[in-house]
Chains A and B, each alone.
Chain A
Amino acid sequence: MHPHPASQPPLQRRSFLKWAINGMGALIAAILGIPAIAYLIDPRNRPAAQSDFRTVAKLSELKPNEPKQVVITDQRRDAWTLHPSELIGRVWLIKRDDGRVEAFSSICPHLGCSINFEEKQKLFVCPCHNGTFDLNGAKVELRGMTNPAPRGMDALEVRLVEDPSNQQDKLVQVKYEKFAPG
């Protein structure tokens, strides 16, 4: 390596040059960096799946206190792709003794696995980490088992409307929404 020669520019000039170089570097970094960050966090603009009230079943198909799984079909957007009619979620329906119908998202509030219904025990059980819920969707603590679910099953809005093809029956409509697990 060459020794620092005496021809080095005066200190003042050197410090100006360094300052200018750093300044220009910072400016370029900002002009490139700020849009880059906005671009990288763009997914924040995309909404989660949800739907209006969709008909999922006829009331006559439901037996009292017996959960039935139905699917919600709706338009789904995946970035640029528009799926005009696709399965966007699964829902557990339960008809109560008084004829009311309740709906629960089948997505486990723990970490998002799909909750099953165990016929024998009359319990909802998540197959991933044994999150367990009763017929009201409430969290259940079984002896000798830990239940990692942070809350009960997520309830969805339900309404019953006239069935135009059958005056005796009603249509069950659910408004689907995706809840954040955990």
Chain B
Amino acid sequence: MFARLAAWLEDRIALSKIRDALLLEHIPGGAKWRYVWGSCLSFVFTVQLITGVLLMTAYSPGDSTAWPSVYFIQYQMDFGWFIRGLHHFGSQAMVVLLGLHMLQVVIAGAHLPPREINWWLGLALMGVVLSLGLTGYLLPWDQKGFWATQVATNIAGSLPVLGPWVQKIIVGGPEYGHHTLTRFYALHVGILPPLLIVLLIAHVALFRRRGVTVPKDAVGEGWFWPDQAFRDMVASMAIFALLIVLVLKGHGHSTEPAASMWSYDYWAHAGRDGRGANLDAPADPSHAYPARPEWYFLFLFQMLKYFEGPYKIVGTAVVPAAVGLLLFILPLLGYGRMRPFGHAFGVIVVTALLAGAGTLTLLAVSQDTVNPLARALLVRVALYLVPITAAVLLLWLGLLALLRRGPVRAVVVGLGTLALAVLLASAGMGTYLAMATEQRFLEHKYAHVNEPFTGSVIPEPVAEWVEKDMKPEEKEEDLRAVKFQEEQVQASKLARRAVSLAGGGIPAEGALALLKRDPQTRGPELFQQNCASCHTHGNDFKVDNPTASDLAGFGSKEWILGLLRYADSPAYFGRTKLKEMGNWVRRTRSQAQKAGKEAELEQDLDAVATWLASHPRPTNPPPDDPELAGKLARGFKVFQQRCLECHTYNGEGTPQGPDLTGYGDADWLRLMIMAPDNALRYPDRNAMPAFRNLMGPGSEVTRMEFTEKSPNTKLIHLSDLDRELIIRWLLKEPQPIFGGVPIVLPEKR
């Protein structure tokens, strides 16, 4: 049955011919491990295509939807973290493999005539891959991608003549917004990948036309299928395994305690455990961010630092254009008798470029490193180890080119391989140790423990070698790096908060609105702006001349108990003109002392504080816990005996001090903030301004009514939303506020 179907198909579309054409490629000189890079690139590109299309099924480009949709992929959809992680790390693998492929090609001389056009196709492919990286980095619309990509488009804008115009076209307007995303998205999924496929087909077809560049020492014969295909497959598999390891390790923000590691739920949502790619806080144009590009663009970023002022264009355009041109003409240097020179020159150029990029990348990392030793180690790897490795590679290749086949050559091959392996391993190890030490150092630094840092993983001999020639200024923490890392800490705090809030649902206006309406994020800022000229809040804000109470823990039992004991202290009414409560405390205490009933008084105060901290209202449902209910009942009884002589509750008592119905809850605070001189708060000796929404339609009515009723109270603008955010933050209620923005009419045109 199956055989008949196969025969039927074969008769019609001759699949076997296509297969043979693809697989039966003769490889003079035999299959080799060093030929795998091209196939590996194609393999990773295939992974990118598959994961990319999967991501397209859930991604939504748009100012208010991009971040939430990526959040949803990363934290909510089954295995979204895995698909996104593969795509994220796959893009980095593409760039690394490009470098290796390019190096292998020039070493083999495979760029020389008659393969010039294929070299140029390769350069074009490199451009497309890097453009894919650049456009993809923006799509999550998080702080990281948003600010880093701004730098890239600003570079485009700084180019002479057409620059500003080109920038506006790419960005889709004067500022980043909807059309930046739709344009980058179109480039990333609709234009660049098909272009890459077309170029790749041409690249492979041209390669097949001329075949591999046979090494001069090659012996024997081979075939693509299965000899080379096997090697390609093993290499691809190894790269895939590496990608999986990176994805599993991940560098995301964890949100909630994950389910058991042995459950489907855990692995379907392992993004919640920090696995997979990172998602930073939602892009916020008003909130500056320490922009760094993706690591494989760091060398360009670093290069820009060396060209200042009028020379900026050297870094942004002249050098990249010169490098591009140099790479472009490399194959043209291989005609006729120039060929050996052209070959050597190509190897030198590509090796130097790769080493230069490596050095610049490490220098860029070192300049963001706070720990002096780690920083110095990175600098030494960048300035010594990387150039030495490149030089050894070039020397070795030169020697091999001169030596004929024989035992001497074999020894040189072995020794050179060993030397290169040692050098590469040292460079890699040095970088790793420095970065690991820095990470531990930062964790120590921001844990704020007063102990010297002992967590360095740099071995003693290496540390001694580095310290030997460290200049005095190198031994200090670099202030710019400290600033950068502090901003990083703030940024990741915000990112974690955004991610944990998003689990409860994101408003239609987007994820930024979520943070703007989060009491925990906005509360301190608003308190500082509106309250901290009079009130303190522990030591959170610097208040020069506080004239009102300390509101840290307002409404809690501890806070109320403190008030009942020390009403005169600066933390309560000590800074105000409100003296009655302090007098009462003194009077009551001395009476109790005289009567020898101090312990009883303490018990009574505790009971009242417990009752008041429950924000008592007659409409509150009774508590489920009978013990608590008993305590509250006792508190209420004491309150009736001792407090009603000055305070009211539910319409009973003497309205001399403020009404205590619902004391300390949101409704109580709202009246206090909006009408502090109300009969139920402080009608006589109030010093607090009234905070009302004085913007938008209807505010003039508020203002008019208010001045009529309370001519002696100052009126200050505070929007309804901001007021509620302050209230929630004071009461430690973490839920963000959805909707509720006051109406603001567009300005007249």
Q: How far is the CB of A36 from chain B (nearest CB, A)?
A: 6
How far does the alpha carbon of A20 sit from the alpha carbon of B227 in the complex, in Å? 11
Residues of A close to B240: CB separation below 8 A: 28, 31
Bound-state Cα–Cα, A45 to B78, Å: 9
Interface membership of chain B positions 253-268, coded 1 if the CB is closer than 8 angstroms to chain A and 0 otherwise: 0000000000000001
Q: A24-B234, A39-B78, A84-B739 are in contact. Are A14 and B26 (CB under 8 A)?
A: no
Q: A83 vs B738: C-alpha distance in the bound complex, in angstroms?
A: 9
Is B534 positioned at the interface, with any CB of A under 8 Å from its CB? no
* 1/0 contact string of B47-76 vs chain A (CB within 8 Å): 100110010010000000000110110001
- Segment 4-24 of A: residues with Cβ below 8 Å from B: 5, 7-9, 14, 17-18, 20-21, 24
Does B80 sit at the interface, judged by CB under 8 A?
A: yes
**Interface: A145 (CB within 8 A):** no
Task: State the majority secondary structure of interface residues on A.
Answer: helix
Asked if residues B50 and A32 are in contact (CB atoms below 8 Å), the reply is yes
Contacting residue for B71 out of A5, A7, A14, A80, CB 8 A = A80
Cβ-defined contact, B50 with A36, below 8 A: yes
Q: Which residues of A contact B82 (CB under 8 A)?
A: 35, 39
The answer, yes or no, to whether A79 is at the interface (CB within 8 Å) is: yes
Asked if B79 and A35 make an inter-chain contact with CB atoms under 8 angstroms apart, the answer reads yes
Q: Classify chain A: how many residues form its interface, as a range.
A: 20 to 34
CA–CA, A36 and B86, complex, Å = 11
- At the interface, yes or no: A52 with Cβ under 8 Å from chain B? no
B504 touches A42 (CB 8 A): no
Report chain A residues within 8 Å CB of B229: 17, 21
Within 8 Å CB of B344, what residues of A? none
Shortest CB distance B148–A (Å): 24
Establish whether residues A5 and B221, one from each chain, have CB atoms under 8 Å apart when the complex forms: yes
Tell me which of A21, A31, A36 contacts B54 (CB under 8 A).
A36
- Which residues of A lie under 8 Å from residue B738 when comparing CB positions? 82, 84
> 1/0 contact trace for B474-516 toward A, CB 8 Å?
0000000000000000000000000000101111100000000
Q: Is the CB of B227 within 8 A of A17?
A: yes
Whether the Cβ atoms of A80 and B83 lie closer than 8 Å is no
> Is B83 touching A36 in the complex (CB atoms < 8 A)?
yes
> A6: nearest residue on chain B (CB-CB)?
B221
Cβ 8 A contact of A25, one of B51, B69, B71, B233? B233
CA distance in complex: A35, B244 (Å): 12
CA–CA, A24 to B241, complex, Å?
11
Query: How far is the CB of A10 from the nearest CB of chain B, in Å?
Result: 12
Is B236 at the interface (CB under 8 A from chain A)?
A: yes
B24 sits at the interface (CB 8 A):
yes
Going nearest first, the 9 A-B pairs with the smallest beta carbon separation are A82-B505, A35-B79, A17-B226, A2-B26, A80-B68, A80-B72, A84-B738, A42-B77, A7-B221
A residues sitting closer than 8 Å to B (CB atoms) are 1-2, 5, 7-9, 14, 17-18, 20-21, 24-25, 27-28, 31-32, 35-36, 38-42, 45, 77, 79-85
A-B contact pairs, 8 of them (CB 8 A): A7-B220, A17-B229, A21-B229, A32-B51, A36-B50, A36-B79, A80-B505, A82-B505
